[in-house]
């Protein structure tokens, strides 16, 4: 599944049982993944404590070459990655081997629509659905399938392109007509050349998650500032990356910034997870 919004390969490293909580890598690419990784790692840690099991079963739909799957496996969990691209799955296998977690990562070819042709229903403690809803024909069905893969005490990590971030980016680039088009378009597209088929507001994403039967655990704006700050400033100003990471983390949970984020992250929890 093509995904220009998918987080890049460089991301916060994994935590091991003997190591302290991992810190985000202080690189510019970490600006794209640090918020999601922190929320995801917290959610998995809570599941470990609630279930008493050190090893969880995690499903990564559209997980590609393992940008999140490999670090999750590095935490000691078993990860199944479903992706339609054989090339991505080959890269996943290679990356998992290089990271020393090959025995905990399994890649299978498939997609969100036919998810249960390749994985079991109700078999996972956590499901990652990152950069998928933008491309599926029916986002509601995609979320329902992700939720149906969860156990009774599971969590869903949902990441999708945000409408407001695209509008703001087009406007700041001087493409005012395209910015207005994105605002008016039902799918949030700025024109025929837009590579992203669909974008969402926070309300749309939380509505999909709640309609699928989950409670909302958290909503975060991702890349609120990172895509707008000039690269030369971040790369040359001492301490800029670290300061920007802290700013992104501080703004991520504030609803006022969700409307301008490049991506939106929603953490959904089953009722069983809430009670455990």
Asked if residue 156 is part of any domain, the answer here is yes
Whole-angstrom CA distances from 211 to 108, 207, 266 are: 28, 6, 14
pLDDT mean across residues, the chain: 87
d(CA 72, CA 76): 7
Asked if residue 76 is part of any domain, the answer here is yes
Asked if residue 193 is part of any domain, the answer here is no
Task: For residue 61, give the CATH number of its domain.
Answer: 3.40.50.150
Asked if residue 219 is part of any domain, the answer here is yes
The residue segments making up the domain with residue 39 are 28-162+200-271
**Tens of each residue's pLDDT in the chain, 276 residues:** 433 333 333 333 333 333 334 433 446 667 788 899 999 999 999 999 999 999 999 999 999 889 999 999 999 999 999 999 999 999 999 999 999 999 999 999 998 888 999 999 999 999 999 999 999 999 999 999 999 999 999 999 999 999 999 999 999 999 999 999 999 999 999 999 999 999 999 999 999 999 999 999 999 999 999 888 877 777 777 888 889 999 999 999 999 999 999 999 999 999 765 554
Asked if residue 82 is part of any domain, the answer here is yes
d(CA 182, CA 196): 11
d(CA 187, CA 167): 12
Cβ neighbourhood burial of 234 (10 Å; 0-12, 13-18, 19+): middle
Asked if residue 129 is part of any domain, the answer here is yes
Asked if residue 185 is part of any domain, the answer here is no
| Domain count within the chain | 1
Cβ neighbourhood burial of 98 (10 Å; 0-12, 13-18, 19+): exposed
Asked if residue 170 is part of any domain, the answer here is no
Condensed to tens digits (0 to 9), the pLDDT of residues 116-163 reads: 999 999 999 999 999 999 999 999 999 999 999 999 999 999 999 999
């Amino acid at each position: 599944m093509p995904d220009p919004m998918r987080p890049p390969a460089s991301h916060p490293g994994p935590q091991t049982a003997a190591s302290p909580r991992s810190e985000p890598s202080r690189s510019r690419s970490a600006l794209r993944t640090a918020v999601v990784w922190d929320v995801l790692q917290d959610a998995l840690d809570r599941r470990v404590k609630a279930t008493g099991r050190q090893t969880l079963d995690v499903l990564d739909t559209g997980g590609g070459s393992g940008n999140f799957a490999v670090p999750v496996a590095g935490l000691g969990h078993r990860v199944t990655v479903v992706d339609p691209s054989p090339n991505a799955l080959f890269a996943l296998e290679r990356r998992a081997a290089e990271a020393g977690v090959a025995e905990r990562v399994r890649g299978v070819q498939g997609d969100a629509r036919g998810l249960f042709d390749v994985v079991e229903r109700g078999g996972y403690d956590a499901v990652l659905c990152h950069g998928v809803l933008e491309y599926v024909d029916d986002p509601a069905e995609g979320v329902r399938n992700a939720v149906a893969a969860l156990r009774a005490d599971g969590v869903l990590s949902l990441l999708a392109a945000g409408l407001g971030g695209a509008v703001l980016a087009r406007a700041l680039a001087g493409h005012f007509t395209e910015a207005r088009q994105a605002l008016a378009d039902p799918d949030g597209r700025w024109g025929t050349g837009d590579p992203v088929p669909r974008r969402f507001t926070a309300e749309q994403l939380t509505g999909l998650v709640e309609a699928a039967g989950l409670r909302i655990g958290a909503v975060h704006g991702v890349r609120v500032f990172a895509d707008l700050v000039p690269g030369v400033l971040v790369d040359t100003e001492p301490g800029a990356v670290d300061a920007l990471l802290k700013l992104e983390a501080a703004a991520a949970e504030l609803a006022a910034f969700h409307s301008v984020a490049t991506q939106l992250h929603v953490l959904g929890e089953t009722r069983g997870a809430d009670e455990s």
